[in-house]
Structure 1
Amino acid sequence: MKKLKYALMAGLLAATSSLPASAEETKIEVLHHWVAESEVAALNVIRNALAEKGYGWQDSAVGGMSGSNAQQALRTRLAAGNPPAAMQFLGYEGLEWASEGVLRNLGDMATENGWREAIAPQVLPFVDSNDGFFAVPINMHRQNWVWANKAVFDKVGADQPGSWSELIEDGQKLKDAGIIPLAMGDEPWQIQLIFDSLVADIGGADFYKKAMVDLDKEALSSDTMKHIFDTLRQVRGLVDDGFNGRDWAVATGMVIDGQAAMQVMGDWAKGE
């Protein structure tokens, strides 16, 4: 099957620079997974910048599963020989598509505009391969945040927790006051955020690398890992029964309005 080349979402602005300038002549289809209110607001920054340059925007939003649903939609589109003009991706996904030769090479634009000097060196491996740039970054996040509603803690007379043991201890006091201690959904990636944080915090950086990166059998079967799973079980007891199918942004809203006291979520929750 003939491979059709397209630009990932991060390369959208540069990739369209050689296209006709009329929005009526050129409407760029963008496949993405940003559907929360704050995400749509961020996306509109790019949409408006394109409009100022005279380009139209054809929105193809596929939400859910932290981008996995959008990735599946992309595979289907590629198999049908009908890829979008641009695609949003996370982390190493772009490298996988680049290795398959389906991405547009943005090397000339990168050289002309000094991308290599402008982009943080930690980010370069995700947008540059042996064949040159295939994307540009549009955001960078940290995942291991605990978001807390201070007014809720003041209401029940508790300090915001500084450790997992304090978080679990505060849980019962919050429950007794009719407040959900921890807001979250049952999507695997939301649970993974908590698990990753537990491994890093309880085990430390060296243990995290051995267990999660090197998959060291001794680390994976250690008493430390057992303690991590025991703690995860206790944290699960802080979540309400209605967490099935809950979107991360809905959980964030529960902390904002005081239904819940805390959420373990990336810094993108601030946008909500």
Structure 2
Amino acid sequence: MTEIVSRWREFEKMLAAEGFGWALAYAPADLRHARSADHPHGARLDHLLSADYRAFVAEIGYPVIGFSCYDREGISFLPPEPMAVLSTMVVDLDGRFPEAVEGEPTTCPHAFFAGTDLSDICGYALAEDGVWLVEDSLAVTHLGSFTKWLLGFLADQEERVAGLGAEEFTEPDRAADPHRLFDYSLSGFAAGEQSPYSAADLELSWVEQQADNPYSYGLIDAEGRWRIPMGKQYVRVRPFRDETAEVILNVPGSTYAGPWTRIDPDGRIIGI
């Protein structure tokens, strides 16, 4: 067990002992997230993920800590799909966004691995030289290695918990999703509430463009082929499972609540 894994386990025990076990959740590794239409082939981040980070998530997973809704002092570790999407929104010190390359994943200089505000892109990113503080999409301050950063983060969290007082601080609504990581995902489910996706499921990725309402959606496969072209044919979409996805068609009478219709990977309605 590495030093940071051991320290994290101590932190878990401390939260439970102090009555704050409810403030910690874990996101599933296969949490599905729609790709950006500007980067439909995803992002290339493997070269940025340090050995200590990889060891941590392999053992611990993707923790989410929050004592209130929109808890900027908490944190949400991002599973691979949301990490890839949000990493394309982090700019370098020269103010440049990662550039998409036709038919290929976008190579990013920063891997946005944990967020404190997922709307404004605030949190922490890994680069080739370690962890950077990200504020409003801009990587602004180098914080050292992942191990150094995490040990400091845990010390800050323990100090914070010591000053809260469990008897005066009860579990608020949506504390389990303080930065809307699950809410922004395609499934909206927390760990333990969904069965794992198959390899075939994960080869089908929804792509989203948020220019206006309703959003535009398209479906791309692992080979980069558009199975469903971008368009406004759907109001909402859910991930594919076993060659089937639920969508809300953009037709008269539809709302963001439904009705839901099942389609195959080529967009054909099932059951008609």
Higher strand share: 2
TM-score w.r.t. the length of structure 1 is 0.24
Higher helix share: 1
Point out which structure has higher relative CO (alpha carbons under 8 A, 6+ apart): 1
